[in-house]
Structures are given as C-alpha cells and as structure tokens.
C-alpha cells in the first residue's frame, strides 16, 4: 500500500490553541515560574503520568518481580510470569482507554483531533479493521519485546554484568536518573524515528504505524516488531551507566504505556462535571498527518533545533510544503 506523505483529513476536528509551544524545560534564559508550573502543576511533568508510572513501577519491582537470586538463571517460569504480568497490565491500561473513549464514547467527539472513529471494513488494515490490526501488532511485538528487555536487564544485573547502584546508598543519583528518563527516551525516539523514515525502512516496517492517520490508544505501539526492538532499546543506556532495575522498570513502563496516552486522539479528557484533563499531543498527531515533521513531542525541542518542526499554523504548513518539494 502506498501512503502519501501529506494526508488531508476532515478539517472539522478539534485544534488546540496554536502555534504549538514547547514546554519551558530548555528555554533560555530560564523562566523559573513557568518551569515550576511545568514540574509541579497539574497536569505537568510529575502529575499525573510520571507519578502514576513511577508508582506502578515501584509496585511491580517490590511485589511482582522475581528476586535477584531467581533471575540469575534464565528459565521459562519467571520469564513467562513477567510476560503474562506485562500482558495483563498492557491490556488493562490501553484497553481501558479504548473502552472509555471509543467504545463507550465517554465524551463523544468533544476535543477529538480527527472527527472520525476508527476504521472498519478498510482493506488497508489486517482483518479490514483498524482496532484489531492495532491489537495484533501490539500483541506480537510490543509486549514480548518489552518483556525481552526487562528479562535481559534483570539477568545481566543479577549476574553483575552491568553496573548497578543502590537507591538507599545513592538516592539523589537514582532520583536524577528517574527525572532524566523521559528526556532520554524522547531524544532516543527522535533518532530512531528519523531512521525509520528512511525510505527502505519506512516501506518495510514503519508504514505499519503510519496506517493510523486517525489514531487511537492501540495505535501507539501498533508497529512492526523491528520497530519495537528499536523503540524499547532506550533501556540499553542503563546497561552502560550505573543504574538500578527500578529505573529500567520505570523507563519500560513509560515507553509501553505512555505511547497509548500520546495516541489517545483527544486533546482534553473529561473528568466529569465540566472539568477536563489536558492531554494535548497535537504535535505528534500532526506527524501522523504529514509524516516528515514533528518526529518527537513538546518536551524536548529537537524538531525545532533540527528543522523538522511544524507548529500547526497555516504559515508553518506552507513552510513544510516547501521543504517537502
């Protein structure tokens, strides 16, 4: 299937206030008040998703991960346990978003970027159904390769083949690693994402993800397994620098579950009573429309620095059209 690099959609969907702005993390000169709001506001860097993913990671590491003595030896028992554990978490989290926003249509099409629902009876997708196409690629690639990197990290750590640190002995260093993890994964994603848009790789692998011009939660990790292999490889950094398995657990959880939040397809999510949670991921949504712009998200302005940023405005659109000629 040939996919156009600029794909127009029904323009009546929701648009946030434009132009798209980057968060104040890399603003110079620094803006202390804006930076404080970014870190501690709601929604912000720490709340809600960083805190939720960190809390979930702590629960998994403390109570639902085999101990180091057990993982010294690779065996089907504990590997299978982690695979099933991750599968259940993934289905509950991603499936829960889909049921709420797409099956029950919790808020209808309010704040939906694309006014259409997911495609059915469409030959571009496996089973002629966008949802089941997305679920298929998640099941055969995302969950197994998430588990693969987790298994390898635990096994390497237990056998003292990678450097590890104690959180109790080095709490500031461990906290710094946790806070830096989202920045690192975004930078890593930019690099591999540009690589995947190289025409041979796009044609043989990345085009699967880009079938999803109209995105939903299951679209986040609807990818060729080769792409999953690259995507989750961000944790390999912690095979080189001193770290703790909890940091790896958090990084993997953020990668595995955060993609669905970023592909929910709604800029605001109703909390009831007329209140909404800001869930703006319009920058990445535009990537699914125009393909060769906005390879990452608003936290790290790599697209702006490297000339691939589209701010969503008409003037910016004209500029990207000139670049694509």
Q: What is the pLDDT of residues 77-127, one digit of tens each?
A: 999 999 999 999 999 999 999 999 999 999 999 999 999 999 999 999 999
Joined tokens for residue 228 = 């999953």
Report the mean per-residue pLDDT for the chain: 94
Confidence check: pLDDT of 282 > 70: yes
Q: How far apart are CA 178 and CA 165, in angstroms?
A: 13
Q: What is the pLDDT of residues 181-234, one digit of tens each?
A: 999 999 999 999 999 999 999 999 999 999 999 999 999 999 999 999 999 999
Q: How far apart are CA 139 and CA 160, in angstroms?
A: 31
Q: Where are the domains of the chain?
A: 53-280
Residues 6+ apart with CB under 8 A from 220: 94, 258, 259, 260, 261, 262, 263
Q: What is the DSSP string of 244-275?
A: -HHHHHHHHHHHHHHHHHHTS-BSEEEEETTE
> In this predicted structure, what is the pLDDT of residue 109?
96
Confidence of residue 309 (pLDDT cuts 50, 70, 90): very high
Q: How far apart are CA 40 and CA 288, in angstroms?
A: 30
> In this predicted structure, what is the pLDDT of residue 2?
30
Confidence of residue 316 (pLDDT cuts 50, 70, 90): confident
> In this predicted structure, what is the pLDDT of residue 11?
61
- Report in angstroms the alpha-carbon separations of 259 from 21, 52, 159, 256: 20, 14, 31, 6
Confidence check: pLDDT of 303 > 60: yes
Task: Enter the pTM of the model.
Answer: 0.94
Average pLDDT, integer, range 292-309:
95
Q: How far apart are CA 293 and CA 235, in angstroms?
A: 25
Q: How far apart are CA 204 and CA 196, in angstroms?
A: 10
Confidence check: pLDDT of 250 > 70: yes
Q: What is the DSSP string of 1-58?
A: ----SS----TTS---SSS----GGG-SS--HHHHHHHHHSSSSSSTTHHHHHHHHHH
């Amino acid at each position: 299937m040939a996919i156009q690099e600029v794909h127009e959609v029904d323009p009546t969907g929701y648009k946030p206030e434009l132009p798209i702005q980057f968060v104040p993390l890399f603003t110079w000169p620094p803006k202390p008040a804006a930076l404080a709001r970014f870190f501690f506001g709601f929604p912000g860097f720490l709340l809600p998703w960083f805190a939720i993913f960190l809390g979930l990671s702590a629960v998994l590491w403390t109570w639902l991960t085999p101990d180091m003595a057990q993982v010294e030896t690779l065996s089907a028992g504990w590997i299978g346990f982690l695979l099933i554990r991750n599968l259940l978490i993934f289905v509950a989290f991603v499936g829960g978003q889909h049921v709420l926003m797409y099956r029950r249509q919790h808020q209808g099409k309010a704040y939906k970027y694309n006014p259409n629902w997911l495609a059915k009876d469409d030959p571009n997708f496996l089973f002629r159904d966008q949802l089941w196409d997305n679920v298929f690629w998640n099941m055969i690639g995302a969950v197994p390769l998430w588990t693969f990197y987790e298994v390898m990290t635990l096994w390497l750590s237990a056998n003292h083949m990678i450097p590890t640190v104690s959180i109790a002995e080095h709490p500031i260093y461990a906290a710094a690693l946790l806070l830096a993890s989202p920045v690192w994964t975004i930078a890593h994603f930019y690099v591999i994402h540009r690589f995947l848009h190289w025409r041979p790789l796009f044609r043989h692998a990345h085009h699967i993800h880009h079938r999803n011009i109209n995105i939903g939660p299951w679209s986040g990790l609807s990818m060729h397994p080769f792409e999953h292999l690259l995507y989750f490889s961000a944790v390999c950094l912690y095979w080189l620098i001193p770290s703790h398995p909890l940091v790896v657990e958090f990084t993997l959880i953020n990668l595995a579950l955060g993609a669905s939040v970023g592909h929910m397809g709604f800029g605001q999510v109703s909390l009831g009573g007329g209140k909404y949670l800001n869930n703006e991921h319009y920058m990445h949504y535009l990537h699914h429309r125009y393909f060769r712009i906005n390879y990452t998200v608003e936290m790290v302005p790599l697209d702006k620095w490297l000339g691939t940023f589209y701010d969503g405005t008409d003037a910016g659109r004209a500029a990207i059209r000139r670049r694509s000629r």
